[in-house]
Amino acid sequence: MLQGVLARLDDAGNHVPRFTAPRCLLERQAVGGCDACHATCPHDAISLGMLGSSIQIDPDLCTGCGLCVQVCPSGALEYNLEPALQSVRDQQDPAQRAAPDASLTCARSGAGGPSLPCLGRVTPALLSAAGAWGAPLALIHGDCAACPVGAPDVPERLARVLDTAQDLRAPTGKPAQVTIRPATADDARRSLTVSRRGAFGALFRAGKQHLAQSIPESPLPFVDWSVPEDRTPQEWTWRARSLKPTPPDDAAIPWPAPLVDDTCIDCPVCANVCPTDAITRDLQPDGGVHLLLNLSACTGCMACLHSCPPQAIHAQTHWRPAAFSAPLLLRESDSVM
């Protein structure tokens, strides 16, 4: 029994991101597909499958930098966000840290405090949540140009991630207090008091990092596609959760999502290609159909727009807060194709 427990704990250190095939635009056969992960991987660890219908990740080449997760438009690739979120949350308490701000550092930066294998794993949801919690956060990187884990342009990528997070924070009136900077000699003195739960997870991690300098990883379980809530990636779940303080009723929340016009022919293509089932077709007893959008589950990938046969879909970039409270009726029809 103990061996089984230790084996599961050891597996928690797996650096390869989870791949959820039903969320992949290639698997969904969306028009135009997607090669964002393949194009961005600095180590050629991701290849496109036969006829470009899926992806494969070579675990021997993958360094766990997370850059593929950062660019995936549909959440098909992801790491568990919760350990990093919990770390930032814990650091709100000055008694939990030895610096005036919370921090996430590159594991090779030489800085103390909680670290990630690469700051390429930082996403807009993480920075938006830090803003909601009012936690000043420093993203401290090392010499990215010489790093074998990530890519030379990680700081520039982080700046774009922060821009996305700040756009999301704007309707709340509470911007995220995030700085991106290289490590200094003083950063070596940063430390973190780890909670008992975090300490237990880190205790069994493979590697030689000091307990207080690592964020315990845990593998995400496979998505249970029979549970609609599980189809939404953590990234977009936390983006919605981080909209605190609640924006005013007339605020415009940046959240690209589709609208349907009257040229729609009521075919099922948009629902079929949607990688999170944010678009659903509700068949009515009278033979009609309601086309519904769960805005919170929409990742803005626009597979529906690019795949729509009559080009009846266009993107709306901003929405009122009320649009997130219930499914939106995109179209009501009295016939089914």
φ, ψ of residue 103 in degrees (nearest 5)? -150, 150
Ranking 2-16, 126-140, 148-162, 164-178 by mean pLDDT, the lowest is 2-16
| Residues present in the chain in total | 337
> Which residues have C-beta within 8 Å of that of residue 244, sequence separation ≥ 6?
132, 172, 174
Taking the C-alpha atoms of residue 234 and residue 239, their distance in angstroms, rounded to an integer, is 8
Mean pLDDT of 80-105: 83
pLDDT of res. 210: 44
pTM of the entire structure?
A: 0.87
Which region holds residue 328: left if phi is over 0, alpha if psi is between -120 and 50, else beta?
beta
Name which of 43-52, 210-219, 259-268 the model is least confident about.
210-219
Taking only the tens place, the pLDDT of each residue in 291-323 is 999 999 999 999 999 999 999 999 999 999 999
Quote the pLDDT of residue 90: 86
Beta-sheet pairing, 137-141 with 46-48: unpaired
The model's pLDDT over 158-193, given as tens digits with 9 standing for 90+, comes to 999 999 999 999 999 999 999 999 999 999 988 655
Judge whether 303 and 312 are in contact, CB under 8 Å: no
Helix, strand counts (H, E) of the chain: 10, 13
**How far is the C-alpha of 134 from the C-alpha of 131, rounded, in Å?**
5
Q: Which residue has the tokens 């061996």?
A: 3
How large a percentage of the chain has pLDDT more than 70? Answer: 85
**Peptide bond between residue 245 and the one before it cis (omega within 30 degrees of 0):** yes
Q: How far apart are CA 291 and CA 147, in angstroms?
A: 48
Q: Which is more confident, 270 or 218? A: 270
Give the pLDDT band (50/70/90) at residue 52. Answer: low
pLDDT given for residue 198 in this prediction? 46
Q: Looking at the predicted structure, is the pLDDT value of residue 256 above 90?
A: yes
